[in-house]
Structure 1
Amino acid sequence: MISNALPQRRAIHRATIFATLMGALFLTGPIAPATAQSKNDMAGQAKVSAFAQAVAEAAARDTEIAAFYRDNGYQPIWTGSQPQDLARRAALLRALSGAADHGLPDFNTTELNTRLRNVASLRDLGRAEVELSKLFLSYAQGVNSGVLTPSKVDSGIVRKVPRQDGAALLAGFVSSDPTRFLKALPPKSPEYARLMKEKLRLDHQIAHGGWGAPVPASSLKPGQAGASVVALRNRLIRMGYLSRSASQSYDATIQKAVQQFQEDHGLTNDGVAGPGTMDEINTTPEARLASIIVALERERWTNMERGKRHIWVNLTDFTAKIVDGGRVTFTTRSVIGKNIHDQRSPEFSDVMEFMVINPTWNVPRSIATKEYLPMLKRNPNAVSHLKLIDSRGRVVNRSAVNFNAFSAKSFPFAIKQPPSSRNALGLVKFMFPNKYNIYLHDTPSKSLFGREVRAFSHGCIRLSDPFDFAYALLARQTSDPEGTFHKVLNTGRETRVDLEQPVPVHLVYRTAVAPAKGRMNYRRDVYGRDARIWEALQNAGVAFGHADG
């Protein structure tokens, strides 16, 4: 938040002593030829040149700001004395004072205030002009598309952020009502508004003691009693899961509250506060607040048109959803990439174009050489369900191959698995062609969908209900989606089925989700990405700002 807001305003108003002269200069008409200029005209031109040169020099290292001032003839937009200049400064200060509500860095303007207080020349004023533009862009771009560059924080976040050009932002601001322009910058998604509301609520709660003491037990179950159960009861009350109660035993009411807590945190909702559940119950409100602030940043990264119909895959929630007009119309469980190097599922957005029924699995070379080649060296008949293919596309007779003669680099064959119910991709895959070779698909390994944490794949997203997912997609282009799907499936042949209306796909990673109804939902940081984002945000100046009212 802005500290000492009143001195800041006074400092900027002091600058208008110099800006008054600047405003008069820029209201003058064309300058006459030098031979006809009066001394006053020449003095005015010199002052304009001094200001313009100072602006050009101060903006030289920022190509976007430099381009804006070059296009507007180096005229002031902040430090002039006209009503619109005063309105822009006031609007910016108001926006900066609420920056912490968005989980943005503290825009400490102390240095700028000092510079404005010490303005002694038009060159000083020109430099202050550029500093205000830099401050504006830092806020505007931060609140609109995020403070961080995702790929610099984690290589698995390959998302393209819709960042607005700085020169265009400044030009748009100058030609608009400043207050309305700044209010229109944050994401308009309902999720963003709900996260901000929850952030303020949690700020307030932390300022008033948070959720109390943690529960001093590694696990508790129904029927138990004692001090630890009382601590559990009290913490659930502070979290909003229980009404006030004097119960000292783990009764049905507490069990029901624990079940709701488990539901909201992606846990098996058996009503038993086992080690996993207890870890989540004892997570501090500060840690939850950090998750919300990270979620706000992530929401800014996806501040784009997501598609009236789109597919939303939240990696931390292990689900894939179809969303129509803002309403979830289909949900299925998913399995995501293992939490090891080069197998974590990346985050990005693309467009699903088609599905392949009865797919062939073209084994990625990394899997072929790292996993299957060692097996073939030990036993040439290993993984017999897979076929070796040479460079001409011919099936290779394994008995004629000395696998021990090859290394991972020199292995000359491709490996494929023909269509079948045993195929690693199952009986259907859903394609949104991308350079990461990620797609959604069926799997014969159905038992994994019963796990609480489902990170087992090599990076692609496995679906628990792929047929139903296919029916939901095909329903937009056929009156009999199930019949259409099975007619192709029953051929046993690999077949591509195009989607007449391609569907945007968003692979996201949200550990804090604010549903339209009910309490906040939290999920585990399975890849540790949110921890890295939070650290980067803190390094950028983001901090907790607890409400005290």
Structure 2
Amino acid sequence: MRYLVIVISILFLAACDGRKKPEIPVDYEAIRLDSLRKVKAARFAEARISAADLIREVIESRQPGDRFRALDVDLYSSVLLPGQYIESSFMPMWITHPDSLGKVQQMLRYIESVEFHGLVPDHYHLAIISGLYNEITKDSSLVFNGNYLANLDLLLSDAYFILASHLYHGKIDPESLEALWGIRRNKPDLPFDKHLKEIIESESVESGFRNFYPPHPGYRAMVSEAKRLHLMLEGDFSVQVPQKQLSVKPGDSADYIADIKKKLEFLGLYQSDTLDNIYKYDEKAVEGIKKLQELFGFNTDGAIGKNTLKALNMPVKERINQLYVNMERMRWMPDSLEPLYVMVNIADYTLGAFRGSDTLITMRTIVGKNYRETPVFNSKITYLVMSPSWTVPPTIQRQDVIPEVSKNIRYLAGKNMKVFDSKGKAVDPSTVNWRRDGMRYTIRQTPGASNALGKVKFMFPNKHNVYLHDTPSRELFKRDERTFSSGCIRIEKPFELAELLLADMPDWTPERIRQAMNSGSERTVVLKSPVGVYIYYLTAWGTAAGKIHYRSDIYDRDKEMLKALKEKPER
């Protein structure tokens, strides 16, 4: 009871205190801004609901066989686009706040930049998206327009889906080309819809698209090089060298040497010095030419001949186009390879064997003539044949051997070739009417030093009857251009490759391999572990270090691809 009296007394005294409490000033501006924010948010929420209704109408009103449309523009995505909006209750995704156009701007800038990936920005609704973006930057009230939000969102999402697909799978269907690309893809299906959510929620649209780039270590270097070269287009020029003087050696002097130095400097391969004699082909200029020769796959001797001058004068525009075409080819390559695999770039005349990302061996190759092209495909090396015989293929028999035998019957004996009938019985070549009946017989070259397949061949199942093999014509590997075969691939280091492929078979020591290759008696060795082999065609590529290489389009395949890249996607 005593405590209750004390409490009541304290309360009474406090009530009788005549002092006034200070008044808190009212911030009318803050109240006004808060009210505006609430009104703005309400209007934006209403616009988004209106946009969702319109998007739903677009998705649900499409007739069978028709395309989805936005602002009278056909949309490409017929599966992922509706699925994405159905999952999100048809709500727009790209503008989620009335004051933020950041993702729209980033997506617009990225669409503009795909030019440097060899793609055409206008194929991804660039013009209309750019127009809509310019409209809202001039009239911010459009953010409350449901029709505007719906159309912009549909166009951006459709651009994303088709662009992601083109970057990941490639824009061109390889089977539509005259020059077939037979390498089987093993790319996993990516959840493009999931990645779209991640891109919208992330800070950078560009970094999200990198998930779709080919895993080739030099792809991004090629994109950077395309941007660099684009800035050089207007300043490009050619160097004229008199035909009679088209063999420039280190130490030579001539007026046109000054132009050669200018072009090397333009390409970033040479730095001029006021003390230099501009008309002398001096050591610094020679080093610049050697760098150029290396980038184009030539022997780096520093001498300027026909091929080196052609490389020096390769137009910047042509370099850019070559990069674009080969970026597309990279998109067709498999994402994952066998633990041990062999890669043959036809246009580079090289073979490399790899374990993971480690290069185990490289060597020069000789590939098919331009009228007997080496095909593009992949398979698995399953066995080797030591000291092989060679059964002449029908095409070579018809076009090469029979004409020679018809002129000189001793041609076959000179090549250690024997003739067999359909039952496998040996036949005397002099008894055959070669012009009339030559194709009824099988011609086989016996093992030996002059055998066309050399001392070993590497076999992998394929419909082209193409394989890797040794060759007795070793001098041809010294040439810059090496299109001398009838489609098969001759290799510079057959023993080293055989040793590598048989490394997990201890019985096959280096000595035993060499002995079998030189025995003159054919022997088949089945590999314990089949090895992947990829025969492909790249005329330009980058390295992880950023170095860009170019090669001649020996089979004239780039033009067809460039034309296909510029065509609009099929509707």
Number of matched pairs:
495
CA distance in 1, matches of 2:160, 2:302: 50
* Matched letter for residue 390 of structure 2: W
Matches within 5 A, 1:322-333: 322-333=353-364
CA distance in 2, matches of 1:112, 1:480: 64
Query: How far 1:15 sits from its partner (Å)?
Result: 12
8 Å contact from structure 2 (residues 52, 150) kept in 1: no
Alpha-carbon displacement from aligned partner over 1:144-164 (angstroms, at most 9, x marks no partner): 122222343332433334577
Query: How far 1:370 sits from its partner (Å)?
Result: 2.4
* Matched letter for residue 302 of structure 1: M
CA distance in 1, matches of 2:464, 2:375: 8
* Matched letter for residue 152 of structure 1: S
8 Å contact from structure 1 (residues 337, 344) kept in 2: yes
Give the alignment's Cα RMSD to 1 decimal.
3.9
Q: Does 1:316 align with 2:333?
A: no
Paired residue for 1:149?
A: 173
Matches within 5 A, 1:111-510: 134-161=158-185, 169-173=191-195, 177-178=199-200, 179=205, 182-206=209-233, 209-210=235-236, 212=237, 214-218=239-243, 219=246, 220-245=248-273, 246-248=276-278, 249-340=280-371, 343-384=372-413, 385-406=416-437, 411-478=439-506, 481-510=509-538
Per the alignment, in what secondary structure is the counterpart of residue 75 of structure 1?
helix
Unmatched runs of 5 consecutive residues or more in structure 1: 1-13, 26-46, 542-549
Per the alignment, in what secondary structure is the counterpart of residue 393 of structure 1?
coil
Paired residue for 2:127?
A: 110
Q: Does 1:53 align with 2:61?
A: yes
Query: How far 1:70 sits from its partner (Å)?
Result: 7.8
8 Å contact from structure 1 (residues 429, 439) kept in 2: yes
Higher mean C-alpha deviation, range 47-56 or range 454-463: 47-56
CA distance in 2, matches of 1:279, 1:273: 10
Higher mean C-alpha deviation, range 180-189 or range 287-296: 180-189
Higher mean C-alpha deviation, range 464-473 or range 478-487: 478-487
* Matched letter for residue 86 of structure 2: Q
Alpha-carbon displacement from aligned partner over 1:315-350 (angstroms, at most 9, x marks no partner): 22211111233232211111110011xx11112222
Matches within 5 A, 1:5-16: none
Query: How far 1:365 sits from its partner (Å)?
Result: 1.3
Alpha-carbon displacement from aligned partner over 1:346-393 (angstroms, at most 9, x marks no partner): 122222222111112122112122222333444445323222222322
CA distance in 1, matches of 2:516, 2:478: 29
8 Å contact from structure 2 (residues 406, 434) kept in 1: yes
Matches within 5 A, 1:518-537: 519-537=547-565
CA distance in 1, matches of 2:455, 2:332: 34
Per the alignment, in what secondary structure is the counterpart of residue 198 of structure 1?
helix
Q: TM-score, normalised by structure 2?
A: 0.75
Matches within 5 A, 1:14-25: 20-21=49-50, 23=52
Query: How far 1:269 sits from its partner (Å)?
Result: 2.5
8 Å contact from structure 1 (residues 23, 82) kept in 2: no
CA distance in 2, matches of 1:69, 1:275: 53
Per the alignment, in what secondary structure is the counterpart of residue 262 of structure 2?
helix
Question: Sequence identity, in percent?
Answer: 27
Q: Does 1:98 align with 2:113?
A: yes
CA distance in 1, matches of 2:264, 2:58: 65
Q: TM-score, normalised by structure 1?
A: 0.78
Query: How far 1:19 sits from its partner (Å)?
Result: 5.4
8 Å contact from structure 1 (residues 79, 85) kept in 2: no
8 Å contact from structure 2 (residues 184, 334) kept in 1: no
Q: 1:137 to 1:56 in 2, by over 3 A?
A: farther
Query: How far 1:478 sits from its partner (Å)?
Result: 2.8
Per the alignment, in what secondary structure is the counterpart of residue 139 of structure 1?
helix
CA distance in 2, matches of 1:354, 1:187: 31
* Matched letter for residue 487 of structure 2: G
8 Å contact from structure 2 (residues 59, 82) kept in 1: no
8 Å contact from structure 1 (residues 50, 123) kept in 2: no
* Matched letter for residue 277 of structure 2: S
8 Å contact from structure 1 (residues 19, 79) kept in 2: no
* Matched letter for residue 235 of structure 1: K
8 Å contact from structure 1 (residues 156, 344) kept in 2: no
Per the alignment, in what secondary structure is the counterpart of residue 221 of structure 1?
coil
8 Å contact from structure 2 (residues 347, 537) kept in 1: yes
8 Å contact from structure 1 (residues 361, 424) kept in 2: yes
CA distance in 1, matches of 2:179, 2:125: 31
CA distance in 1, matches of 2:425, 2:148: 75
Alpha-carbon displacement from aligned partner over 1:156-194 (angstroms, at most 9, x marks no partner): 4333345776xx755444675555753311113211122
8 Å contact from structure 1 (residues 430, 441) kept in 2: yes
CA distance in 1, matches of 2:539, 2:94: 45
Query: How far 1:414 sits from its partner (Å)?
Result: 2.2
Query: How far 1:85 sits from its partner (Å)?
Result: 7.7
8 Å contact from structure 1 (residues 308, 324) kept in 2: yes
Alpha-carbon displacement from aligned partner over 1:378-430 (angstroms, at most 9, x marks no partner): 444532322222232222333443334337xxx32222222222211111011
Query: How far 1:439 sits from its partner (Å)?
Result: 0.9
CA distance in 2, matches of 1:270, 1:70: 60
Per the alignment, in what secondary structure is the counterpart of residue 450 of structure 2?
coil
8 Å contact from structure 1 (residues 58, 127) kept in 2: no
